[in-house]
Amino acid sequence: MKGAFYTGKYVNLFRKYGYDEKEIEKKLEDAYMTIFYGADDERFYFETDNDMAYFLDTGNLDARTEGMSYGMMMCVQRDWKKEFDKLWKFSKTYMWNPEGEYKGYFSWSVRPDGVKLGMGPAPDGEEYFAMALFFASNRWGDGEGIYNYSREARAILHECVHKGENGTPGKPMWEPSNKLIKFIPEWDITDPSYHLPHFYELFALWADEEDRQFWKEAAEASRQYLHKACHPVTGLAPEYSYYDGKPYRKDNRERYYSDSYRVAANIGMDYSWFGKDEWQRDCADNIQRFFCETVKGKTDLIYEIDGTIINEKALHPVAIIATNAECSLAANDTKNRRECVDLFWNTPLRKGDRRYYDNCLYLFALLALSGNYRIWMKQ
């Protein structure tokens, strides 16, 4: 299959399954308005003084590079430049490190008032920042200062690859020997949900010219890594793993748990955009078969990656439903695919203090399944 990068066509699975176009758009608009401008106990976008805003992790009461970069991606997909710029200004003002070991990286967690809670970075934030900034450059054009989006994106990726070279302090976010993203720069392990080959394909077009071959190779390395990390029967991935795909068996990180859910979504997106890896179809089928047939819809539990049930409740059950549906973009057209899409359509946004993570993944799934999660190229 040739993906949307080559054809310019994005699959609207909701419409394929008979949902009304106006209802699809209403569902998407309602989700955006709830997350950004709903009541205080529904939204998690909050504006501050000096034209800034942050996404609040409502379970931990901080702002994280994960959420800030997610918010920027949501905004550029919806053509919300004002909100995008506010989130980016907060990120660059309070999270970016201008000096020291983490110079050029973003502190992964800050308080809503901007005080840093953790100096080190979380690499998934950097890759989403860079991708959202490239899309902003292509959709809106570059501005001045921090709003020169493409320059900012290239600077982020340069640090991710080259930090620590020539005696400079710090470590890169991608392991140079195998081109796999790290969980954090200091640890020689990875997080399966950080692997975004569909982003790396685009970085290979828009990053500094000297690094473009690196990103081409990183895209293929991540695809091959996921073959090893995802269980061959269930399709489930652990939260963290070693570079060979074997689960990281400390602190229960070998389980299918919160971070892990994003792997299904990422597989769906990579296949939808580029269609380079037919294995992704089998993996998506395995995931959907596991939830629809093996455990028959039990999306509120924790699992070992082989499918063994852990008698504990999942922290983010709506996220499981959303990402199971999003991997439909790779799955074969089976009854399980339809079941996952229908279940997601009939699931509302989450409420309560854990709504942030679930509803981020919910909105991305809405965008993807309605054909609105798009590659923005220069016109």
Catalytic residues: 66, 259
Which of 140, 118, 56, 51 has its CA nearest to residue 90?
51
Look-up of token digits 């975004």: 196
Is residue 213 within 8 Å of 255, Cβ to Cβ? Answer: no
**Residues whose CB is less than 8 angstroms from the CB of residue 189 and which lie 6 or more positions away in sequence, other chains included:** 182, 183, 240, 241, 242, 243, 248
Q: H/E element holding 341?
A: helix 335-345
Give 2-13 as a DSSP string.
Answer: --HHHH-----H
**Residues whose CB is less than 8 angstroms from the CB of residue 178 and which lie 6 or more positions away in sequence, other chains included:** 221, 243
Which of 329, 322, 325 has its CA nearest to residue 339?
325
CA distance 41 to 355: 9
